[in-house]
Amino acid sequence: MADKIDINDLKKKYPILNKIIKTKEVLWINPDYNKEDTSENFNLSLADIVDADQRLKRFASYIKKVFLETEPSEGIIESKLQELNSFKLVLSELFKTDLKGNFFVKRDDNLPIAGSIKARGGIYEVLKHAEELVLDNNLIDIDDNYEVFAKEKLKTFFSDYSIQVGSTGNLGLSIGIMGSKLGFKTTVHMSNDAKEWKKELLRKNDVIVREYQSDYSLAVKKGREESKRNPRSYFIDDEKSKDLFLGYAVAALRLKEQFKKQNIKIDRNNPLIVYLPCGVGGGPGGICYGLKKVFADNVDCFFAEPTHSPAMLIGMLTGLHDKIAVQDFGIDNITQADGLGVGTPSAFVGKIMKNILSGIYTISDDRLFTLLKELYKHENIKLEPSALAGFYGPVVLSKRNNLDKYKKIVQNKELIHLIWSTGGSMVPEDEFNKYLNK
């Protein structure tokens, strides 16, 4: 929270804050975006992403053995790239705008094991920690078949160790399910906006759930504090973790291969714009970072946040990152998009995004539910409210074609719009029906 920051001074310096404070939908174009990747200062590179990808491949035999739903993909946790050009017409009619280009959705709502984008980073960091423990204790060799992780000997070994995390829901699911499966004593600290069905699913997987009548930031703080008291406890820090970040970034390598298999070119004449729902920033930040490494100047990334939880927007706009929260401006941080209900952003991610993120827009909860209903009606795709945030991105840009740079891009018929879906396949039927009735 901000103690010595003059809010009125910030409002004068950044006029868009007045709309943000009134929880109006806005589009912010990043003035520092210059296609120059300055994130090397954080000791992350394409080689680090490749290393993370190789680690996931080492674990593929184990994942295939213990999670039968991954058999078709040989233990690789990945989602399909789905064309969505018919829905482009629905969006054009719904929002009275002529949308150009080709529409695709990255179906991370169907990722195996945890059913959300968090299955990338969360599962990756748990596996990396497990690998480090067994290698440090000389229990396996890095060239061994990792099916050995399913053996009772290693599960007993991991039972002496703990993993903890603070979460609004989906990150907790991915870490809880994977941690418990390996044998760790796993605890998820959950904020007040976490859905009850997610808590119950964790408990069914033998995960300890700690509940707090406060938002995400307190859940993370409490989890961090509890973990520090146990020398054998490992805290996965959604606000600061480079391993989570790299787990998400692997998606860019796989997306490149998916485009190649579908004969889709991404180049100067066929640019790519990606729309990513954003909470604390790790998931979209990691994916954006990976995409810029893979596609360089041919990709633009936009984050999408709820109007009541514009944490990353305020952090990047002011340059204050985690030193300021939405509550400092009287914004309540209450949203039905539970995975995005974050009041304070990741400073780590915000600083990496400084020169590579094209912009951020906000979306109201009402619009999320409108999009949820329309997508289900026309495409039979069931998503969580938070996963709909990206679907509004093409509309936002099309209505701001007075911006010289993006005017050229969004009027390009060869443009690829890629909407990143983030969660939904594990939502219970009765819960989804509640969404439809909103």
**Tokens linked to 77:** 């946790």
| pLDDT at residue 348 is higher than 80 | yes
Place of tokens 């990143």: 420
DSSP 425: T
Structure tokens belonging to residue 223:
């989890």
Mean pLDDT of the chain: 93
Q: What is the pLDDT of residue 63?
A: 98
Kindly tell me if the per-residue pLDDT of 131 is higher than 90: yes
- Band (pLDDT 50/70/90 cuts) for residue 43 is confident
For residue 356, pLDDT over 90 is answered with yes
What pLDDT does residue 401 have?
A: 57
Q: Looking at the whole model, is its pTM more than 0.85?
A: yes
pLDDT of 62 above 90: yes
pLDDT band per the 50, 70, 90 thresholds, residue 402: low
Dist CA 287 CA 249 (whole Å): 4
CA distance 264 to 131: 36
Q: Give the pLDDT of residue 193.
A: 79
| CATH code of domain 117-242 | 3.40.50.1100
Residue 244 to residue 239: CA distance in whole angstroms:
10
Q: Does the structure show a pLDDT above 60 at 152?
A: yes
Domain ranges for the chain, please list them.
7-43+70-114+249-436, 117-242
pLDDT tens across 323-343, in order?
999 999 999 999 999 889 999
275/416 Cα distance (integer angstroms): 11
Residue 303 near residue 282, CB atoms below 8 Å = no
Fold annotation for 7-43+70-114+249-436: Rossmann fold (3.40.50)
| Cα–Cα distance measured from residue 167 to residue 235, given in angstroms and rounded to the nearest whole number | 12
Q: Is the pLDDT of residue 404 over 80?
A: no
Q: 268 pLDDT exceeds 70?
A: yes
Separation CA 221–CA 317 (nearest Å):
25
Question: DSSP strand E in 177-265: where?
Answer: 185-190, 208-211, 233-236
Alpha-helix residue ranges (DSSP H) falling in 296-392:
311-318, 347-353, 365-379
CATH fold match for the domains 7-43+70-114+249-436 and 117-242: yes
pLDDT tens figures, 200-209: 999 999 999 9
Query: Mean pLDDT across the stretch 308-336?
Result: 96
The order of strands in the sheet holding 299-306 is 27-29, 359-363, 299-306, 272-277, 416-421, 102-107, 81-83
Beta bridge partners of 102: 416
Q: Please say whether the beta carbons of 129 and 184 come within 8 A.
A: no
Reported confidence tier of residue 41, pLDDT bands at 50, 70, 90? low
